[in-house]
């Protein structure tokens, strides 16, 4: 029966080059109307490129776009919008100081006598919001709305323009798990009302739970298309990466040493407003060498503050009281440089802001923090031959793609940026590794790789403090799990002592 | 405060208000307009010449606005089409106007210092003053209630959002910069054919920058910006009043010192308030698709 209905969208032999790179190479894709269709692939596999062509952001070099049995040539997104296609971009297209209403109306304002009829638009939007269960405070400036509601505004923007085909680019990247669940409930409702939804993602779990069909991209080509019910995460992962991926790496038991890698005692950070709840209250724990301690928790429960307090204990903005020891030394009043010289490696939470100089070449980013080591500098002069040799070797070993030391780090995909940071930090042969969100925005192949590296660091005697919102990271890697809730350590478990469900409950504060 | 001083304040604020509103269009759309000074100067010159030729201040100010639009088009060509740095290109426009006006003046009237004097009955006496406040009201309504007002705001705050909504960002920016040129030209015109009787070399004397300061102080909103212009205008009016009157230890204070007053107020205001004023997020950035 499904074969009888004409496709809502069909892409035939779509090809796009950027310079010498082929982003899309003869992409064929059929999307049935009234379904949720997952489009998955690693970072840089070409899935976003294909969708941007479908939405008219840039034209294909070759191939056809067919929407509702009509061949379409778009000049700009305006044409695609007119044909009933809408896109929610990964980075929201919303201007912070303006109201939700104005953000939705933009470009499609109902006008009478040259004046925007806000009342009319509002009535219509209120009806749409009721129909699809997407309540929004129309008059609030966007910047005052939570991210989940901002996304609702983006979806309403499409519905307001009568979009029949909704493209969502990595919609859960910015959402908490609760917000993500709500999003998917809404998407199912939209599908049941007859909309066609294209979900671009690299998260296998989302594809398996919420899509009807799935198309897999790898290196600019489609490597598989099937109903979701006839596949499994393992098969999808293999198609995405092009080899057999180990989804759950086998972590051997830890050989914990008695020596402490780090310890914090009674760490606190007062709230910024007098009388408000402490952002960190009385946090104490330790990490031994040869052990991975995972800190789990829902975003915003003090994990970022904990990391900042550990990394910058001198700063009064990061720590109001408490003590931090690294490798037996009281480092509470130390400079960052001296702390790093102890043998501390760090994968920062926000890799683009804290981990890399995006404008500078990969080679210089590899040097960051190592610039004083005798291997790379003599008498204040950089030894670029040593640097290039070491960086080349590291790129090879850590599979940073493309293998080009001269391109700016910002041009690498998210997963490769992360691998570059991991390569650099492991260059230090750390005795203590602080890894924050090590797999954020990273695809399955790279997750496996980074997990393996962290375990190897542990087995070579490093103590590892792992902070992650991804339960998968925590449950796979941690020898001990700490749960943070409202700035405190709310629970502690040993490996294997806790199920995902129980952990989720503790994270929610029960 | 005497009525005289108030009237004088309103009059000397007029060029500032025109120029600042012009700056608002450009800057709200994301194009920093440091060229206001040059646009005003050329506008002042063209308006004086136009009035001398046509004997009508109306046609004269049309000349001034047209000259502003023309120079603004050159600016837009560089910063929007050719993606030049806006500060550098704006400075170049200012220098161009500074050099061009005495040069053409020399060709037309064989002097570089100033144009011939415009007869009293061919000058504006109050029209620009009323016009600028009508314009303030129009701008408030326009920004709030029209689609194009919304587009200009988004072009400066989040151009990608505007593009995704199917509106061409650079077209909006072009229009905004041209309007900016027309209004700055009108600001210049009110300087040469309303407040004085001829164009004289470098007669804007930093008023374009003062208009920019008012724009920042007024948080890029029409009414607060116009009120900020009034503040600077007041400083100017006081300064004019004090010339030759103010006394320090039995001697009159030299005029040059008194003339510092409006500039001093500008610096104090900007130093005191600029930290709390946020420009449109995308101001000064080039918009590229993709």
Domain residue ranges of chain A, discontinuous segments joined by +: 9-241, 258-343+435-510, 353-429
Chain A, chain B: beta-carbon pairs less than 8 Å apart: 67
CA A387 to chain centre: 30
Q: Which residues of B touch A48 (CB under 8 A)?
A: none
Tell me the backbone φ, ψ of residue A334, rounded to 5 degrees: -85, 160
Task: Name the residue among B147, B157, B166 with its Cβ closest to that of A78.
Answer: B166
Task: Mark the ranges of chain B whose per-residue pLDDT is less than 70.
Answer: 1, 273-277, 289-290
Token representation of residue B138? 């129009």
A363 CA: distance to closest CA in chain B (Å): 27
Where does A398-491 have alpha helices with state H? 414-426, 444-459, 471-477
Q: Which residues of A touch B281 (CB under 8 A)?
A: 95-96
* pLDDT tens digits, one per residue of A192-203: 989 999 999 888
- pLDDT at A1 > cutoff 50: no
Is A206 within 8 Å of A194 (Cβ atoms)? no
Most confident of A175-189, A390-404, B133-147: B133-147
Answer whether A77 touches B (CB < 8 Å).
Answer: yes
A473 CA: distance to closest CA in chain B (Å): 34
Is A325 within 8 Å of A275 (Cβ atoms)? no
Residue among A220, A198, A225, A216 nearest A25 (CA): A220
Other Cβ atoms closer than 10 A to A223: 17
- pLDDT at A352 > cutoff 90: no
In 3-state terms, what secondary structure has residue A344?
strand
Which superfamily is assigned to A258-343+435-510 in CATH? Answer: P-loop containing nucleotide triphosphate hydrolases (3.40.50.300)
What are the domain boundaries of chain B?
3-276
ipTM: 0.86
Task: Name the residue among A58, A95, A111 with its Cβ closest to that of B157.
Answer: A95
Please state, rounded to an integer, the average pLDDT across all residues of chain A. 88
Residue given tokens 């409930």 in the structure block: A185
How many angstroms separate the CA atoms of A143 and A147, rounded? 9
Is B290 within 8 Å of A77 (Cβ atoms)? no
Tell me the backbone φ, ψ of residue A345, rounded to 5 degrees: -110, 150
* pLDDT tens digits, one per residue of A131-145: 888 889 999 999 888
How many angstroms separate the CA atoms of B70 and B76, rounded? 10
* pLDDT tier, A404 (very low <50, low <70, confident <90, very high otherwise): confident
A159 CA: distance to closest CA in chain B (Å): 13
- Strands (DSSP E) along chain B, which ranges? 247-248, 251-252
A50 CA: distance to closest CA in chain B (Å): 13
- What is the architecture of the domain spanning A9-241? 3-Layer(aba) Sandwich (3.40)
Q: Do A106 and B165 lie within an 8 Å CB cutoff?
A: yes
Q: Are strands A115-116 and A111-112 parallel, antiparallel or unpaired?
A: antiparallel
Q: Do A77 and B163 lie within an 8 Å CB cutoff?
A: yes
Q: Which residues of B touch A52 (CB under 8 A)?
A: 290
A319, exposed or middle or buried, with CB in 10 Å at 0-12, 13-18, 19+? buried
Q: Which residues of A touch B147 (CB under 8 A)?
A: 109, 111, 116
* pLDDT tens digits, one per residue of A10-48: 999 999 988 777 889 999 999 999 999 999 988 778 888
A113 CA: distance to closest CA in chain B (Å): 10
Other Cβ atoms closer than 10 A to A157: 27
Q: Which residues of A touch B161 (CB under 8 A)?
A: 93-95, 103, 106
What is the SS3 string spanning B236-254?
HHHHHHHCCCCEECCEECC
Q: Which residues of A touch B154 (CB under 8 A)?
A: 95, 98, 106
Mutate to test the interface with A, among B30, B161, B168 (most CBs of A within 10 A): B161
Q: Which residues of A touch B283 (CB under 8 A)?
A: none
Residue given tokens 């989804």 in the structure block: A247
More confident residue, A373 or A88: A88
How many angstroms separate the CA atoms of A26 and A13, rounded? 4
In this prediction, residues A155-182 reach a mean pLDDT of: 86
Q: Do A76 and B290 lie within an 8 Å CB cutoff?
A: no
Instruction: State percent of chain A over pLDDT 90.
Output: 44
Q: Do B167 and A106 lie within an 8 Å CB cutoff?
A: yes
Token representation of residue A195? 């909309």
Residue among A184, A188, A167, A166 nearest A175 (CA): A184
Token representation of residue A245? 């991926």
B143 CA: distance to closest CA in chain A (Å): 10
Instruction: State percent of chain B over pLDDT 70.
Output: 97
Is A49 within 8 Å of A16 (Cβ atoms)? yes
In this prediction, residues A216-229 reach a mean pLDDT of: 92
A114 CA: distance to closest CA in chain B (Å): 6
Q: Which residues of B touch A81 (CB under 8 A)?
A: 165-166
Answer whether A389 touches B (CB < 8 Å).
Answer: no
Task: Name the residue among B146, B154, B168 with its Cβ closest to that of A106.
Answer: B154
Give the per-residue pLDDT at A276. 64
How many angstroms separate the CA atoms of B26 and A18, rounded? 33
Pick the CATH number of B3-276 from 1.10.287, 1.10.10, 2.80.10, 1.10.3470: 1.10.3470
* pLDDT tens digits, one per residue of A108-120: 899 999 899 999 9
Q: Do B150 and A115 lie within an 8 Å CB cutoff?
A: no
């Amino acid at each position: 029966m499904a074969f009888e209905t004409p496709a809502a969208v069909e892409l035939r032999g779509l090809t796009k080059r950027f310079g010498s790179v082929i982003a899309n190479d003869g992409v064929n894709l059929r999307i049935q109307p009234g379904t949720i269709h997952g489009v998955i692939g690693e970072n840089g596999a070409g899935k976003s490129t294909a969708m941007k062509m479908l939405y008219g952001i840039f034209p294909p070099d070759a191939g056809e776009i067919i929407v509702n049995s009509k061949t379409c040539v778009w000049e700009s997104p305006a044409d695609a919008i007119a044909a009933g296609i809408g896109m929610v971009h990964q980075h929201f297209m919303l201007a912070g100081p303006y109201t939700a209403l104005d953000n939705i109306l933009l470009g499609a304002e109902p006008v009478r006598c040259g004046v925007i009829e806000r009342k009319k638009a509002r009535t219509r939007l209120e009806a749409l919001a009721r129909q699809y269960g997407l309540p929004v405070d129309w008059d609030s400036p966007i910047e005052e709305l939570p991210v989940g509601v901002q996304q609702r505004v983006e979806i309403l923007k499409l519905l307001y323009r009568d979009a029949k085909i909704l493209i969502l680019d990595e919609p859960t990247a910015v959402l908490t798990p609760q917000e993500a669940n709500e999003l998917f409930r809404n998407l199912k409702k939209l599908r049941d009302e007859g909309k066609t939804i294209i979900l671009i993602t690299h998260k296998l779990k989302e594809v398996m739970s919420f899509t009807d069909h799935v198309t897999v991209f790898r290196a600019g080509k489609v490597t598989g298309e099937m109903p979701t019910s006839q596949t499994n995460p393992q098969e999808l992962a293999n198609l995405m990466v092009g080899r057999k991926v180990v989804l759950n790496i086998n972590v051997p038991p830890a050989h914990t040493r008695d020596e402490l890698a780090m310890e914090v005692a009674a760490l606190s950070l007062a709230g910024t407003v007098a009388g408000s709840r402490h952002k960190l209250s009385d946090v104490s724990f330790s990490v031994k060498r040869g052990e991975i301690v995972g800190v789990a928790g829902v975003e915003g429960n003090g994990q970022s503050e904990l990391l900042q307090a550990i990394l910058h204990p001198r700063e009064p903005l990061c720590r109001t009281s408490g003590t931090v020891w690294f490798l037996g030394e009281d480092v509470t009043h130390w400079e960052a440089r001296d702390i790093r010289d102890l043998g501390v490696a760090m994968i920062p939470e926000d890799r683009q802001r804290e981990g890399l100089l995006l404008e500078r070449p990969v080679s210089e980013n590899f040097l960051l923090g190592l610039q004083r080591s005798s291997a790379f500098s003599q008498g204040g002069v950089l030894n670029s031959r040593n640097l290039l040799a070491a960086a080349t070797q590291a790129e090879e070993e850590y599979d940073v793609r493309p293998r080009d030391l001269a391109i700016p780090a910002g041009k690498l995909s998210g997963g490769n940026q992360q691998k570059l940071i991991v390569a650099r930090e492991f260059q230090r042969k750390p005795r203590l590794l602080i890894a924050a969100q090590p797999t954020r925005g990273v695809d399955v192949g790279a997750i496996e790789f980074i997990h393996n590296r962290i375990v190897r660091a542990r087995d070579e005697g490093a103590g590892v403090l792992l902070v992650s919102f991804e339960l998968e990271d925590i449950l796979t890697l941690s020898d001990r799990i700490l749960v943070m809730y409202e700035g405190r350590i709310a629970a502690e478990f040993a490996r294997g002592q806790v199920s995902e469900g129980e952990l989720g409950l503790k994270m929610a504060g029960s | 405060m005497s009525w005289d001083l108030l009237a004088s304040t309103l009059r000397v604020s007029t060029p500032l208000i025109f120029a600042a509103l012009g700056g608002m269009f450009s800057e709200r759309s994301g194009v920093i307009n440091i060229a206001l000074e040059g646009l005003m100067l050329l506008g002042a010159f063209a308006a004086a010449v136009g009035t001398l030729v046509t004997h009508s201040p109306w046609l004269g100010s049309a000349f001034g606005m047209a000259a502003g639009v023309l120079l603004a088009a050159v600016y837009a060509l560089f910063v929007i089409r050719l993606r030049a740095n806006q500060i550098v290109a704006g400075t170049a426009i200012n220098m161009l106007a500074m050099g061009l006006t005495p040069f053409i003046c020399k060709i037309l009237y064989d002097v570089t210092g100033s144009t011939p004097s415009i007869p009293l009955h061919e000058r504006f006496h109050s029209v620009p003053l009323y016009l600028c406040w009508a314009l303030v009201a129009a701008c408030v309504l326009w920004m709030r209630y029209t689609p194009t007002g919304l587009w200009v705001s988004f072009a400066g705050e989040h151009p990608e959002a505007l593009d995704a909504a199917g509106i061409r960002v650079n077209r909006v920016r072009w229009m905004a910069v041209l309007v900016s040129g027309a209004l700055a030209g009108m600001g210049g015109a009110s300087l040469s054919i309303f407040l004085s009787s001829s164009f004289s070399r470098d007669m804007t004397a930093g008023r374009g920058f003062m208009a920019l300061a008012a724009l920042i102080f007024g948080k890029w909103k029409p009414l607060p910006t116009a009120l900020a212009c009034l503040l600077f205008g007041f400083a100017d009016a006081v300064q004019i009043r004090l010339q030759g009157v103010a006394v320090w230890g039995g001697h009159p204070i030299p005029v040059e010192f008194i003339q510092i007053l409006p500039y001093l107020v500008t610096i104090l205001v900007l130093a005191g308030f600029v930290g709390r004023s946020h420009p449109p997020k995308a101001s000064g950035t080039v918009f590229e698709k993709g």
